[in-house]
Structure formats: structure tokens, C-alpha cells
């Protein structure tokens, strides 16, 4: 139908052009007849001398000067050409024929095109070229066609032109009716097609995917069957067998599909089974790298550690509640919102459960910080008593009453002058404690990998020196922090004298632990026997460095030497040459050697282990310092929230009357807008990226090889959701 419609449109275009040619050339022929009558009257067989437009062609040509005009063979070429090419067309004709022509043209008042697309319509001109001689006329035709002109043969007689114009006009009217009916038929057909187009597209994509997958199978001519090899999760093998049995029964064939499992030394792909809750967390781990087959999957622990570390930086009851509400909206309306294809929205929608967990943990840490929109909650009895007769401009001292606030930070600290002096060291030490625990747990996960991959010796060669090095320095620092918190350094005796004095500076203690082992600066002692303990821990850390450096390469070299000796002994014990070939070349059995296995090189192993040892020792310092971002982001979030409250909303509380009411309304709108955009949007994104960095570098880098390749199963879902480029 489309082809027929295009053919009709082409005919309609040609008829339209022909109608314009008939109309415009009527004037050309009338003028030509007038010129010829005038020339015949004034010529009389002699040389023409009239300089006006009525002079016939080639009047200056000496060869034809004495010819009568009636003896000349005058021909005409008529047609239509694009208006943009008209000047070029005239210039080419004039230069090619040396001026031996007479040309007339007029513009068509409507754009003419194919009719299929209105944008293809172009402005055109009707032209008529008069010349004498058959060869010249043929040359004009060739030039016209080469310039893209459409030529039409017109009968010079007036009656023939009038009849042709009437005939063309009638044919155009008939074509208009036919085109209208054709367009209606095409539209009706397209409406019918549109109802089934999605189903047809899905069916075609599925068929193509099926045949593409079947083309990967090999044909066994002897057994006349297809043999396909692939990977499948062991858990799903019963499902595969059941699906093949159902397909066999549905096809009513006597030949059944056979599923056979066989072992191979090739590295299997990694498949992490997820659901809509764990999918978002697993995706951020896969963005770092796909796990090696059967390697410990960090995504399991990320379910808790990621939202918790995020909440340490983002802790606020109010902000966490707003994030929780936004996530709940996405979760409760996930079926309705799943069809939204916006790129930014899809990222948030895919992490809706991650946002839900981050909101819940932010509310929890907000209770720990006792912070809600930069304010505090006095839910329980405070541990400080305040004087009753003071105003907001007075500086007073809170007196401890011996009570301990039940949950989180005492609200008495909010608004105090020494609030930052109290919370800064607390949050900084908290960040170090969380960081050391997080990294220590990552190092411990190496044990699981070593046990599974049957490398138990690596526990003694890698894990033990790494964990000893880590805990002898930074584990000891965590112990000192906890011990310092547990001691009341300002306790006084019966006579009012301080029992312990000022608490020691832990940073100086850690520095002098290596600069002067065993020496304790006066007034900086944390506990008795501290010098001996620190010397012992420094010795352990120093011993662990060569332990990590040389033990593993030496062990691998020894194992390689024993393996070579064992292989030579086995070869000498087998006298049959054929048996030797079978042992070393088990082709066709499926149990081939791993093609990615490289030959052992002690030098390369030493270089690799040297880099690994230096990197681990330096990273223990830099990574621990990296966790201080938990303190920095938490402090920045709290201070920015406080400034926003004071500058937008709090200032209007002192105003009264209608002005104060309007100001409070505007201030609340500004405060809420900036809270959502800056504190939740920008600060939330910043905390998210910092948390992602802690997991990728500080946590995953300790145990996660991430050198596997993902499992890509055949799936109709991925085929049908494929977007054509």
C-alpha cells in the first residue's frame, strides 16, 4: 500500500508540473508567434537589422543571414527545474550553445514535491528554450536532464494545448480522490497494525534470540543432534531439566533432551542471586568488580555496613525521616513507577531500598547524636542542672547532677560554648574505632577465601602477619581510646586533689611509641606498664613486615620445586610412551588445563609480594586516616544544618504581628526548600559517595580480588527490554 501510494504521489507531482508547464508555456508560444510574424514582416528574406526583442535567433550569423525564417527548423524544449539551479542552468546553456537560443522562464507560485513528505517540497520554475536544429535541441535536452530538470513535450498548437490542459486538470482531480481514499486505507491499516505491533516485535526478538543461541550449538552428524555447552547455576539444574521435559512433551516428539553435568578446569562465571531488596547493594559492588567464582561476596555485608557508615555522616532524625518518607513512596508505589524511563529517576528508583535503609539508620544515629534539624530532644532527664535566674545573654555553667542521659548525647551540650570541644574529639575517635573494626573484619574475610580455595597455608603466610600488624598499631590505638573513655580523669580524692591529672594525648603517644619505644613522657601515662606493652607491640609490627614480604614467595617456590620433582618421578615410572601421551595430553575429555594458568617465576612473585607488602603497610595508615571523613562529614552536616536554621527560620521568632507571621511563613518555605535541596540532596549525595569510597578502597581492597566475569544467562526479559539504536 505504501509503494502504491508513493507511485500515485509521483504521478500527482508530474501532472501538477505538467499543468504549470501548459499554463506558463501558453504565453511563451504566443510571444514566439508574435515575434515570428513581426520578423517575417520586416525580414523579407534580407538581413534583419531591428535591434529589439523581435529579432529572430542567430541574426548576426553570416551563414544564415540571407535565409528566410520559414526555412529555419525552430525547436522548443519545455520542462520544470528547481529554482535554486535556474541561474546555473541558464549560464551552462548560454556557454554551451554560444548564445544560439532563446529562453524564457517563469516561477511556479507553489512548492512542488513528492507529496510523501511535505518537507521535501521545493520551489521550481517552468522554462522554455527555443533553438533551431535537431542536434542543438538534443543537446539542450541532455543538459536539462543532467541539471535535474524534468522535461515535458508540448504541442505548439493552441487547440492541442487547451485540450491537454483540460485532460491534465481532470486527471489531477481523479488522483486527489484516489490519494484521499488511499491515505484513509493506510491509516485504518496502521491502526489495526498498532494493536499488534508490540506483540509482533516481542515475538520477533524472541525468535531471533532463540536462533542466535541455537547457532552457538554444534551439530553432531553421527547422532543427528545438537550439542550445546554452557553454564548453569547448580541450584537451577532441576528447573532446567523440568523445562526441557515440558518442551519435549509439548512438541510431541519421541526424542528427549539430555542434560549432562561435567567438570572442567575453566573458570566458571560468577552469579550472585539477588532480589529487589539486595539488587541495589549488589550493583555497587559489581561496579567495583565482579567477584571471582566462589569468592566472598562483599554485597552481603554491605547491606548493613553501607547504610550505617552513611548514617554516621548524615545522622539527623529529621533529615533521616524525610529520606525515609521519600524511599517509602518509591517502595509502596514501585509497580506504578517501574514504567518511568527517566535516566535520573531510574537510578533513584533502583536504589529505593538502599535509601530506605539509609533513612532508618540516619534516624538511629540522629538519636545517638540527639540531633533533629540542628535541635535537640529532651526526652530523658539531663545530666546537668542550670541556674533558673538567667537570660539568654548570660554565660552560665551547667552543674553535673550525677544523672546519665539514657540514649545518645545529652541535650545540655546543644548550644553550649564548648559544644564543639566536646563533640569533635568524640566523633573523631568514633570514626577511628569504626574504621579499624571495618578494616579488621575485611582482613578476617581472607580466612574464608583461603579455606575455600584450599590455600590454608596462606592463613599463616598472609592473614596472620596482616592482622597482627594491623592490631598491634591501630587495634592498640582503639584499645587506648576505649580505656581513656572508661577512666574518670577528673576524679578527686577526699582532700579535693586530682587523683590522675590531665588525660594523655593519644596522638603523641602513638608517635612516641615508634620514635622512642619504651619511653613514656611524664604526665602522658595511660596505664601502668605501658612502656613494656608498647615495645612488645612495636616488635610484633616490625617482625610482621619481613614475614609478609618473604614467607609467601619462599613457600610458593618450594611448592613449585616439589611439584616439578613429583612430575619427573611420575614420568620415569611410566614406561609406555602411549600412556605418557595420554597423561600429558588428555584432549577431548573436557578436563583440560586452565589456559589462563601462568608458569611460576620466583622473581615476578617477589616483585608482586614486595608491592603488596608496601601497599598494605602504608594503607593501614592512610586508610585509617581516610575513615576520619566520618567525623568531618558529620561535623559539616551538623554545622550546616545549624546555620541554615539560624539564618532562615530562627530569626523570625523574635518578630510579632502580621509582619512576623508573613516572615515566618516565608522563612519556613526557604528553610524547608534549602533543607531538601542542600542538606538532603547535596549533602546526602556527598555522604553516599564517601561511603562508597570507604567500601571500595578501604574494605574491598583488603580481601576482594574482583577478577571474575559475570554470568550472562539467556533471558527473554533482557531481549524484550532491549532498545534499538
pLDDT at 72: 52
Q: What percent of the chain has pLDDT over 70?
A: 85
pLDDT at 653: 85
More confident of the two residues 176 and 61: 176
Helix axes 657-674, 629-648, angle to 10 degrees: 160
- What 3-state class would DSSP assign to 78? strand
Both 27 and 68 in one domain: the answer is yes
Q: What is the pLDDT of residue 398?
A: 81
Whole-angstrom distance, CA of residue 253 vs CA of residue 289: 45
Q: Determine how many CB atoms are found less than 10 A away from the CB of residue 144.
A: 22
Please report the sign of the dihedral spanned by the C-alpha atoms of residue 471, residue 472, residue 474, residue 480.
Answer: positive
SS3 219: strand
Which pairing describes strands 150-152 and 74-82: parallel, antiparallel, or unpaired? antiparallel
pTM of the model: 0.73
SS3 content of the chain, % helix, strand, coil (to 5): 65, 5, 30
Query: Given pLDDT bands bounded at 50, 70 and 90, which one contains residue 16?
Result: confident
Q: Are residues 372 and 384 in the same domain?
A: no
Q: Is the pLDDT of residue 392 over 70?
A: no
Say what angle helices 299-314 and 279-288 make with each other, to 10 degrees: 100
Q: What angle do CA 525, 620, 301 make, to 5 degrees?
A: 110
- The DSSP element (H or E) to which 437 belongs, if any, is helix 419-452
- The cell numbers describing 513, all together, are 611509641
Residues 525 and 662 in one domain: yes
Q: Is 502 exposed, middle or buried (0-12, 13-18, 19+ CB in 10 A)?
A: exposed
Is 269 domain-assigned?
no
Return the ∠ at Cα 120 (arms to 116 and 122), rounded to 5°: 125
149 shares a domain with 133: yes
The average pLDDT across 562-590 equals 43
pLDDT at residue number 464? 96
- CA–CA separation, 272 and 294 (whole Å): 10
My answer on whether 365 and 468 are in the same domain is yes
Q: Could you tell me which residue, 698 or 493, shows the higher pLDDT?
A: 698
Number of H-type helices and E-type strands within the chain: 23, 8
Closest CA to 506 of 539, 484, 529, 532: 484
Instruction: Please name the residues in contact with 214: beta carbons below 8 A apart, sequence gap of 6 or more.
Output: 226, 228
Q: What is the pLDDT of residues 468-477, one digit of tens each?
A: 999 999 999 9
| Domain CATH code at residue 106 | 3.30.70.2750
Most confident of the ranges 284-298, 499-513, 643-657: 284-298
Report whether pLDDT(522) > 50.
Answer: yes
Q: Which domain holds residue 489?
A: 279-376+414-702
Do 291 and 231 reside in the same domain of the chain? no
pLDDT at 270: 94
Please tell me the distance from the alpha carbon of residue 216 to that of residue 234, in angstroms, as a whole number. Answer: 22
User: For residue 37, what pLDDT is reported?
Assistant: 60
- The kind and range of the H/E element at 226 are strand 225-227
Q: How confident is the model at residue 65 (pLDDT cuts 50, 70, 90)?
A: very low
In the predicted structure, residue 244 carries a pLDDT above the cut 50? yes
Q: How confident is the model at residue 393, as a pLDDT?
A: 66
The more confidently predicted of residues 122 and 308 is 308
129, part of any domain: yes
Q: Which helix (H) or strand (E) holds 578?
A: helix 577-584
Residue 497 lies in a domain: yes
What does pLDDT average to over the chain? 83
Between 31 and 379, whose confidence is greater? 379
Average pLDDT of the residues in 273-281: 93
Segment (H or E) for 152? strand 150-152
Provide the pLDDT for residue 319: 95
Name residue 76's beta-bridge partners: 130
Question: What are the tens digits of pLDDT across the range 23-44?
Answer: 777 777 666 566 656 555 555 4
Residue 210 lies in a domain: no
What's the whole-number mean pLDDT along residues 574-596?
37
pLDDT band at 528 (very low <50, low <70, confident <90, very high): confident
Same domain, 388 and 372: no
Total structural domains within the chain: 4
* Residue 707, domain member (yes or no): no
pLDDT > 60? residue 109: yes
DSSP reduced 3-state for 400: strand
Sign, CA torsion 464/467/469/475: negative
What stretches of 6-148 adopt beta strand conformation (E)? 74-82, 102-107, 124-132
pLDDT for the residue 427: 93
Position 544 confidence tier, pLDDT thresholds 50, 70, 90: very high
Q: What is the pLDDT of residue 492?
A: 66
| Distance in angstroms (rounded) separating the CA atoms of residues 216 and 231 | 13
- The angle that helices 158-214 and 2-43 make with each other, rounded to 10 degrees, is 150
Separation of alpha carbons 503 and 510, rounded Å:
15
User: What gap in Å lies between CA 129 and CA 93, rounded to an integer?
Assistant: 9
Half-sphere exposure of 292 (CA within 13 A, CB side): 13
CA gap 570, 582 in Å, rounded = 13
Whether residue 85 contacts residue 105, with contact meaning beta carbons closer than 8 Å, is answered with: no
- Please tell me the predicted confidence (pLDDT) of residue 124: 87
The SS3 call for residue 340 is coil
Judge if 478 and 622 occupy the same domain. yes
Per-residue pLDDT of 141-165, as tens digits, reads: 898 888 888 888 877 777 777 788 8
- Both 323 and 397 in one domain: the answer is no
Would the pLDDT of 52 be above 50?
A: no
Question: Given this model, what pLDDT does residue 275 score?
Answer: 92
pLDDT score recorded for residue 290: 94
Residues of the chain above pLDDT 90, percent: 38
Higher pLDDT, 253 or 188: 188
Strands (E), 572-700: none
3-class SS at 322? helix
Radius of gyration, alpha carbons of the chain: 46
In angstroms, rounded to a whole number, what is the distance separating the alpha carbons of residues 291 and 297? 7
**What's the pLDDT tens digit per position in 428-449?**
999 999 999 999 999 999 999 9
* 195 within a domain of the structure (yes/no): no
Where does the pLDDT of residue 179 fall: very low under 50, low under 70, confident under 90, or very high at 90 and above? confident
How far apart are the C-alpha atoms of 195 and 121, rounded to whole Å? 32
Instruction: Assess whether 245 and 316 both reside in one domain.
Output: no
Q: What is the rounded distance in angstroms from the CA atom of residue 323 to the CA atom of residue 688? A: 13
In this structure, the answer to whether residues 421 and 551 fall within a common structural domain is: yes
Task: Kindly give, in sequence order, each residue whose CB lies less than 8 Å from that of residue 170, ignoring residues fewer than 6 positions away.
Answer: none
pLDDT confidence bin for 277, thresholds 50/70/90: very high
609 and 591 housed in the same domain: yes
Domain presence at residue 149: yes
Question: What is the mean predicted confidence (pLDDT) over 511-515?
Answer: 89
Q: Does residue 725 lie in a domain region?
A: no
Amino acid at each position: 500500500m505504501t509503494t502504491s501510494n508513493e507511485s500515485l504521489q509521483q504521478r500527482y507531482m508530474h501532472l501538477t508540473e505538467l499543468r504549470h508547464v501548459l499554463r506558463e508555456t501558453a504565453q511563451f508560444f504566443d510571444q514566439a508567434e508574435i515575434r515570428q510574424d513581426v520578423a517575417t514582416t520586416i525580414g523579407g528574406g534580407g538581413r534583419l537589422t531591428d535591434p529589439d526583442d523581435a529579432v529572430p535567433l542567430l541574426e548576426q550569423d553570416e551563414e544564415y543571414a540571407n535565409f528566410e525564417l520559414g526555412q529555419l527548423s525552430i525547436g522548443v524544449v519545455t520542462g520544470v527545474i528547481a529554482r535554486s539551479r535556474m541561474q546555473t542552468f541558464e549560464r551552462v546553456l548560454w556557454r554551451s550553445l554560444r548564445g544560439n537560443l532563446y529562453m524564457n522562464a517563469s516561477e511556479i507560485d507553489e512548492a512542488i514535491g513528492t507529496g510523501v513528505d511535505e518537507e521535501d517540497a521545493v520551489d521550481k520554475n517552468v522554462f522554455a528554450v527555443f533553438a533551431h536544429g535537431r542536434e542543438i535541441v538534443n543537446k539542450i535536452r541532455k543538459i536539462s536532464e543532467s541539471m535535474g530538470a524534468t522535461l515535458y513535450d508540448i504541442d505548439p498548437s493552441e487547440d492541442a494545448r487547451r485540450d491537454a490542459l483540460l485532460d491534465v486538470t481532470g486527471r489531477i482531480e481523479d488522483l486527489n480522490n484516489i490519494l484521499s481514499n488511499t491515505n484513509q486505507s493506510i491509516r485504518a491499516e496502521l491502526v489495526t497494525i498498532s494493536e499488534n505491533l508490540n506483540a509482533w516485535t516481542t515475538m520477533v526478538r524472541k525468535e531471533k534470540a532463540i536462533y542466535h543461541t541455537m547457532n552457538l550449538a554444534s551439530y553432531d552428524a553421527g547422532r543427528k543432534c545438537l550439542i550445546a555447552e554452557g553454564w548453569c547455576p547448580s541450584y537451577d539444574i532441576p528447573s532446567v531439566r523440568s523445562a526441557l521435559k515440558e518442551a519435549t512433551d509439548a512438541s510431541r516428539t519421541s526424542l528427549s533432551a539430555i542434560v549432562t553435568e561435567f567438570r572442567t578446569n575453566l573458570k566458571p562465571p560468577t552469579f550472585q542471586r539477588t532480589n529487589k531488596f539486595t539488587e541495589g547493594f549488589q550493583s555497587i559492588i559489581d561496579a567495583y568488580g565482579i567477584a571471582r567464582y566462589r569468592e566472598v561476596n562483599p554485597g552481603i555485608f554491605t547491606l548493613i555496613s553501607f547504610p550505617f557508615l552513611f548514617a554516621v555522616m548524615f545522622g539527623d532524625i529529621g533529615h533521616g525521616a524525610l529520606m525515609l518518607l521519600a524511599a517509602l513512596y518509591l517502595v509502596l508505589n514501585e509497580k506504578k513507577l517501574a514504567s518511568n524511563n527517566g535516566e535520573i529517576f531510574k537510578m533513584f528508583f533502583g536504589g529505593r531500598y538502599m535509601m530506605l535503609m539509609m533513612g532508618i539508620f540516619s534516624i538511629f544515629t540522629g538519636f545517638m547524636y540527639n540531633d533533629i534539624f540542628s535541635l535537640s530532644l529532651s526526652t530523658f532527664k539531663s545530666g546537668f542542672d542550670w541556674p533558673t535566674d538567667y537570660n539568654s545573654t548570660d554565660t552560665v555553667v551547667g552543674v553535673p547532677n550525677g544523672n546519665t542521659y539514657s540514649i545518645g548525647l545529652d541535650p545540655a551540650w546543644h548550644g553550649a560554648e564548648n559544644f564543639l570541644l566536646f563533640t569533635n574529639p568524640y566523633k573523631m575517635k568514633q570514626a577511628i574505632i569504626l574504621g579499624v573494626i571495618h578494616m579488621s573484619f575485611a582482613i578476617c574475610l581472607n580466612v574464608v577465601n583461603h579455606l575455600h580455595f584450599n590455600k590454608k597455608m596462606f592463613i599463616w603466610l598472609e592473614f596472620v602477619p596482616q592482622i597482627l600488624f594491623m592490631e598491634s598499631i591501630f587495634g592498640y590505638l582503639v584499645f587506648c581510646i576505649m580505656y581513656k573513655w572508661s577512666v574518670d580523669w577528673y576524679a578527686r580524692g577526699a582532700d579535693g586533689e586530682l587523683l590522675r591529672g590531665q588525660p594523655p594525648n593519644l596522638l603523641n603517644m602513638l608517635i612516641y611509641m615508634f620514635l622512642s619505644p619504651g619511653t613514656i613522657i611524664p604526665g602522658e601515662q595511660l596505664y601502668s606498664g605501658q612502656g613494656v606493652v608498647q615495645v612488645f607491640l612495636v616488635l610484633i609490627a616490625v617482625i610482621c613486615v619481613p614475614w609478609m614480604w618473604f614467607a609467601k614467595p619462599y613457600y610458593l617456590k618450594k611448592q613449585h620445586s616439589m611439584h616439578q620433582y613429583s612430575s619427573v618421578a611420575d614420568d620415569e615410572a611410566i614406561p609406555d610412551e602411549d600412556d605418557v601421551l595420554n597423561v600429558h595430553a588428555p584432549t577431548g575429555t573436557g578436563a583440560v588445563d586452565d589456559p589462563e594458568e601462568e608458569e611460576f617465576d620466583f622473581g615476578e612473585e617477589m616483585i608482586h609480594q614486595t608491592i603488596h607488602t608496601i601497599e598494605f603497610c602504608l594503607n593501614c595508615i592512610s586508610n585509617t586516616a581516610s575513615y576520619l571523613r566520618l567525623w568531618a562529614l558529620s561535623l559539616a552536616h551538623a554545622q550546616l544544618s545549624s546555620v541554615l536554621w539560624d539564618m532562615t527560620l530562627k530569626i523570625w521568632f523574635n518578630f510579632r504581628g502580621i509582619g512576623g507571621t508573613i516572615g515566618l511563613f516565608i522563612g519556613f518555605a526557604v528553610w524547608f526548600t534549602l533543607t531538601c535541596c542542600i542538606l538532603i540532596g547535596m549533602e546526602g549525595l556527598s555522604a553516599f559517595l564517601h561511603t562508597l569510597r570507604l567500601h571500595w578502597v578501604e574494605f574491598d581492597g583488603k580481601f576482594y580480588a574482583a577478577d571474575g566475569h559475570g554470568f550472562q544467562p539467556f533471558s527473554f526479559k533482557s531481549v524484550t527490554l532491549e532498545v534499538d539504536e
